[in-house]
């Protein structure tokens, strides 16, 4: 497919209009959207190839700095690692050169199934080296490979089978959502990697099973590191943190915000950890991706992702873009990962034992 100049103009005009009309608030982070489009119009329209045009358009909407916002083709191969292979990375410097070290590798995901472990270092995707600041991205629906330096120093090339496209949405590598076990000192350990499903019935049932298995435990660690988000199944997890009903917050659409509202009249969620002092948060500051989004068909196979609603805590705090600062900040130490240790989990256990 080769886009004509007239096609590109129509696509750009559609995106411009949709962002202005359907985005919850294009000016959320101080962006002058009309001016931004004007400044980039010529560069976008004169992109040398369709792929370059797609990248320019994607970069344009990402200047809004909101989650669930992007421009892509249905057959796009550009998928972040957390979605494509169920793994996250952190930067690590080796001999003065930065590389990507695997941080969270969720059981059931493509990276885990290939044999990757936390502490391994990504060298190449296919035959192409990948290093910071370039983010690791993977192609859906294809057989490829990763070259990884293992924790013991050996370099191994892993074959990698990635899921393909499903209907109108990007398919993701689906990890095992809930993992749990008992730690000998009476501590229950519950890890939730995602909240699949709009309603989350299955993941709620898995969380119930985990909690029931902790009979006899008097301490609990909930591990949400690398969680890719999802539906409202997280409410079941929140509910276990308090025996009474407490408001977490509310979702606010653009129409509701512009017409006026009373938060007491909106649909609310019950229970929240930090705002109600229900748990001690250990780790690093979260990314702050907490907007509801939708995708719009633009024609020629292109889709626009737009943030259409925002989430606020019951006290009115906007998490999007600001994230949650932990009560006790602890970095995940690469040197510990190389030894098969988890510095954040060790700190959480030490706090409980006190």
Mean pLDDT of 135-155: 83
3-state secondary structure of 121: strand
Predicted local confidence at residue 274, as pLDDT: 58
Which top CATH class is 80-161?
mainly beta
User: Which residue has tokens 């370059």?
Assistant: 52
Q: How far apart are CA 116 and CA 103, in angstroms?
A: 10
Q: What is the mean pLDDT of the chain?
A: 83
Can you give the pTM of this predicted structure?
A: 0.72
Chain segment 23-33, per-residue pLDDT in tens:
988 888 889 99
Residue 164 has pLDDT above 70, yes or no: no
Residue 314: its pLDDT value, please?
66
Q: What separation, in Å, do the N-terminal and C-terminal C-alpha atoms of the chain show?
A: 63
For residue 23, count other CB atoms closer than 10 A to its CB: 22
pLDDT tens-digit series, residues 199-254: 678 888 999 999 999 999 999 999 989 887 777 777 788 888 877 776 666 666 77
Q: Looking at residue 136, what is its pLDDT?
A: 87
Distance CA 270, CA 276 (A): 11
Give the residue with greater pLDDT, 135 vs 314.
135
Q: Residue 93: is it exposed, middle or buried by C-beta count within 10 angstroms (0-12/13-18/19+)?
A: exposed
* pLDDT tens digits along 48-64: 999 899 999 999 999 99
| Residue 141 CB contacts under 8 Å (≥ 6 apart), including other chains | 162, 163, 164, 165, 171
pLDDT of residue 169: 42
- pLDDT tens, residue by residue, 78-135: 677 887 888 999 998 877 889 999 999 999 888 898 889 999 999 998 888 999 998 8
Give the DSSP letter string of 25-57: -TTTTS--HHHHHHHHHHHHHT-SSHHHHHHHH
* Long-range interactions of 47-55: CB distance < 8 A, separation 24+: 47/8, 50/1, 50/2, 50/3, 53/3, 53/8, 54/302
Separation between Cα atoms, residue 190 and residue 212, nearest integer Å: 11
Residue 45 CA to residue 32 CA, distance in Å, equals: 20
Q: Which CATH number fits domain 178-290+310-353: 3.40.50.2000, 3.90.226.10, 3.40.470.10, 3.40.50.1820?
A: 3.90.226.10
């Amino acid at each position: 497919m080769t886009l004509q100049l007239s096609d590109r103009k129509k696509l750009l005009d559609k995106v411009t209009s949709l962002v202005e009309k359907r985005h919850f608030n294009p000016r959320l982070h101080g962006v002058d959207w009309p001016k931004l489009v004007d400044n980039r119009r010529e560069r976008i329209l004169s992109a040398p190839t369709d792929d370059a045009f797609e990248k320019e358009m994607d970069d344009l909407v990402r200047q809004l700095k909101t989650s669930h916002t992007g421009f892509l083709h249905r057959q796009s191969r550009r998928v972040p690692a957390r979605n494509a292979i169920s793994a996250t990375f952190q930067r690590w410097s080796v001999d003065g050169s930065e590389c990507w070290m695997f941080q969270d590798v969720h059981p059931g995901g493509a990276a885990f199934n290939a044999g990757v472990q936390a502490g391994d270092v990504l060298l190449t995707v296919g035959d192409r080296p990948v290093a910071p600041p370039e983010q690791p991205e993977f192609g859906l629906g294809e057989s490829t490979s990763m070259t990884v330096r293992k924790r013991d120093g050996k370099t191994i090339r892993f074959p990698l089978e990635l899921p393909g496209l499903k209907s109108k949405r990007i398919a993701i590598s689906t990890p095992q959502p809930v993992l749990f076990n008992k730690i000998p000192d009476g501590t229950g350990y519950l890890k939730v990697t995602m909240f699949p499903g709009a309603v989350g019935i299955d993941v709620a049932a898995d969380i119930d099973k985990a909690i029931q298995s902790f009979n006899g435990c008097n301490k609990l660690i909930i591990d949400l590191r690398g969680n890719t988000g999802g539906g409202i199944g997280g409410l079941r997890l929140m509910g276990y943190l308090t025996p009474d009903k407490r408001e977490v917050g509310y979702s606010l659409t653009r129409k509701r915000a512009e017409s006026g509202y009373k938060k007491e009249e909106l649909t609310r969620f019950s229970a929240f950890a930090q705002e109600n002092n229900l748990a001690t948060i250990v780790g690093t500051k979260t990314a702050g991706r907490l907007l509801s989004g939708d995708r719009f068909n633009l024609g020629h196979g292109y889709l626009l992702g737009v943030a259409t609603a925002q989430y606020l805590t019951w006290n009115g705090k906007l998490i999007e873009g600001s994230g949650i600062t932990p009560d006790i900040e602890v970095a995940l130490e690469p040197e510990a990962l190389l030894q098969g240790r988890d510095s954040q989990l060790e700190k959480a256990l030490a706090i409980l034992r006190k």
